Structure 1
Amino acid sequence: MWVSEISLGTMTFGGKDHPVYRTMGALGQEQVNQVVGTALDAGVNFIDTADVYADGESEEMLGRAIGQRRRDVVLATKLMAPVGSGPNDQGLSRLHVMRALEDSLRRLKTDYVDLYQIHNYDHVTPLEETLSALDDAVRQGKVRYIGCSNLAAWQISKALGISKLHNQAKFVANQTHYSLVSRDAERDLVPMAEDEGLSLTVWSPLAGGFLSGKFDRGGMTTEQDSRRAQVGVDFVQFDEEKGFKVVDVLRVVAARHEVSPSRAAIAWLLAQRAVTSVIVGARKLEQLTDNIAASDLALTEQDLAELDEVSRPPVAYPNWIQQAFGPARIPASNVA
């Protein structure tokens, strides 16, 4: 399965009356149609959603927007978060997996999803139960591939081992948070993905709009209708003081290419060898077209070095000790 390196996120679809999602964008159906159509016409073929977005309204609106272009779309959705008040309206039990999938198919107006992802780790349900239910969905033809999001590297590795042991469908994709101000994924998730041959899709590449360069150290912004401006903070976590230093360098790199900081930040992610696709969301068409254009921006070695230097996180244990002693080799004279 081939996907575009820029993918479309749908958290901005719907939710105008929702206490949380109304700050994400709350796009109406006509706007959603324009966003989806613009993305598909620009060559984007990968669209990501989730059953929890705007309490299912995002899936419904996306299904209507795709319409007759279903074969043009690699469609991904997710499950795990609460979608109701009942005890079985969340999690990754067999019961909820089966219910959630049928509900998503109905809302999306399709008889299959290309990529079905668990949205988080369920500490109550055994992985074996979840993976068995997902394998059944694949065998039934309702799901083409399975993936995960927001899991730790050890949890993904454990799941891959279970799937292999039982000859079941295995995770082929991992969706994770990754950006110039949030490089935690490089500690374990990126090496694990490379070792296991797992695709890596990035969510919130602009750290909730922070890397757009539209915010200054005094909290002022040129975009008052943004989510960060409205709620005062975004749910992604990073060192803001260091973040502004990153933005300072990002602005220099962007100016060098005469592009926006947003486009340069996404281009940096696309230059990372483990990254398969970067999810971009948009409230406005000009945001979408600018983000999609990052696919055509080739940063120079100087650009990448400058951005790496200012954003590089400290090396965590045991990585630093493995790096320190990794180059050591057995002397050739001692090799039989």
Structure 2
Amino acid sequence: MSAPYVRLGRSGLRVSRLGLGTVNFGGRVEEPEARLLLDHALASGINLVDTADMYGWRVHRGYTEELLGRWLPGKRDQVVLATKVGNRTGDGPNDEGLSAHHIVAGCEASLRRLRTDRIDLFQMHHVDRTVGWEEIWEAMELLVRQGKVRYVGSSNFAGWDLAMAQEAANRGSRLGIVSEQCLYNLLTRHAELEVLPAAEAYRMGVLVWSPLHGGLLGGVLRKLADGTAVKSAQGRAALALETHREVVGEYERLCADIGRDPAEVGLAWVLGRAPVTAAVIGPRTPAQLDGAIRAAERPLSDEDVDRLEKLFPPIGRGGSAPDAWAV
């Protein structure tokens, strides 16, 4: 990638503008192909690898971290390794959430599966409003002091969750949350209302998951016609297509008009949004990864952005809350 590395929020950590997401590893992308993708990403300058303790559930929970643990030897210092805690990982009453018990146990288990001594970015996978922030930060601080965690991030938080978490960290003179990973793309722009403004106000990095809405913005209609649709023919993309088929068709025609692949266009739009640090992508092939790299290296023109904004308008009046809807 020709684009420079950027700082992750107010931390000193530098990450690539693309992160390799591993949610498809195990079940959709088998280990030999996963290793090829990882090697290709690293060789292309992508240093951010994002996973979670429950990924690989199609095989068994934790499988993806185990796969990464087999790949990491000899490459660990080149990788910014991000994983997550909070989702259910077992059948016991304390095998989910953000209790101090589960945070510490979850970190230890991830380290064993990843075969490493530290996690660069330890992300709370979902907010847990049943646990106080004092307890959460005590657990995170313990892991940081032990050298097992470098930075703490969040994922799928509301704007007010980010504010509460960071204010609690500030009271304890802690660094707090350095990044929020949220759902954000042309079709799903709710993050613009409060999540992105909160992240910007607290100088948190923004990592975007599902920048193509599960493949919906990656040329789904063409792929369905060709019989090549895989991910985009199921899950979030398939459900959204039932409602948004007409606008998706217009989008694909717009992409053809400007001579770029729909996946490149959708990803380039996300990367062009001011608060976004990096997009977490889930390619299944090196060719798809190369397309994402092209998107990062070729920004959209102002004219192209204007056309996309007309097709996929922001919520209400646009911008952050409450101005997006206030009279």
Are 2:257 and 1:252 aligned?
A: no
Distance 2:250 2:71 in 1: 38
What are the equivalent positions in structure 2 for 1:56-95 lying under 5 Å apart?
Answer: 56-95=62-101
Distance 1:243 1:274 in 2: 29
Poorly superposed stretches of 4+, deviation over 4 Å: 235-240
1:139 aligns with 145
Distance 1:243 1:273 in 2: 28
Matched residue SS, 1:283: coil
Distance 1:237 1:137 in 2: 40
Aligned 8 A contact 1:121 1:150 in 2:
yes
Distance 1:250 1:209 in 2: 12
Identical pairs, percent: 35
Aligned 8 A contact 1:49 1:59 in 2:
yes
State TM-score, norm by structure 2: 0.88
Pairwise CA distance, 1:200: 0.2
Pairwise CA distance, 1:132: 1.5
Pairwise CA distance, 1:215: 2.4
Residue in structure 2 matching 1:36, options 11, 35, 38: 38
Residue in structure 1 matching 2:230, options 212, 226, 232: 226
The farther-off stretch of 131-140 and 272-281 is 131-140
Distance 1:255 1:321 in 2: 33
Distance 1:215 1:235 in 2: 11
For residues 299-319 of structure 1, the C-alpha deviation after alignment (integer angstroms, 9 at most, x for no partner) is 111001111121113327632
1:7 aligns with 19
For residues 120-175 of structure 1, the C-alpha deviation after alignment (integer angstroms, 9 at most, x for no partner) is 01132222211221121112111110000001000110000000001123000000
What are the equivalent positions in structure 2 for 1:229-308 lying under 5 Å apart?
Answer: 229=233, 232-234=234-236, 241-242=243-244, 244-253=246-255, 255-256=257-258, 258-308=259-309
Pairwise CA distance, 1:243: 6.0
Change (3 A) 1:200 1:318: same
Distance 1:237 1:195 in 2: 34
The farther-off stretch of 132-141 and 195-204 is 132-141
Question: Which amino acid letter does the alignment assign opposite residue 118 of structure 1?
Answer: M
Change (3 A) 1:57 1:314: same
State TM-score, norm by structure 1: 0.86
Pairwise CA distance, 1:238: 5.2
Aligned 8 A contact 1:163 1:170 in 2:
yes
Gapped regions of structure 1 (runs ≥ 5): 15-21, 325-336
Change (3 A) 1:113 1:223: farther
Distance 1:153 1:41 in 2: 36
Pairwise CA distance, 1:290: 1.2
Pairwise CA distance, 1:285: 1.9
The farther-off stretch of 236-245 and 303-312 is 236-245
For residues 234-271 of structure 1, the C-alpha deviation after alignment (integer angstroms, 9 at most, x for no partner) is 27975854464155235423541x32100111001111
Aligned 8 A contact 1:181 1:238 in 2:
no
Question: Which amino acid letter does the alignment assign opposite residue 315 of structure 1?
Answer: G
Residue in structure 2 matching 1:164, options 166, 170, 175: 170
Gapped regions of structure 2 (runs ≥ 5): 1-12
Distance 2:273 2:146 in 1: 36
Change (3 A) 1:222 1:281: same
Matched pairs, number: 308
Aligned 8 A contact 2:22 2:51 in 1:
yes
Residue in structure 2 matching 1:53, options 36, 52, 55: 55
Matched residue SS, 1:67: coil
Change (3 A) 1:167 1:303: same
Distance 2:213 2:206 in 1: 17
Pairwise CA distance, 1:275: 0.4
Pairwise CA distance, 1:225: 5.4
Are 2:108 and 1:102 aligned?
A: yes
The structure number with the bigger radius of gyration is 1
Aligned 8 A contact 1:246 1:307 in 2:
no
Distance 2:118 2:237 in 1: 31
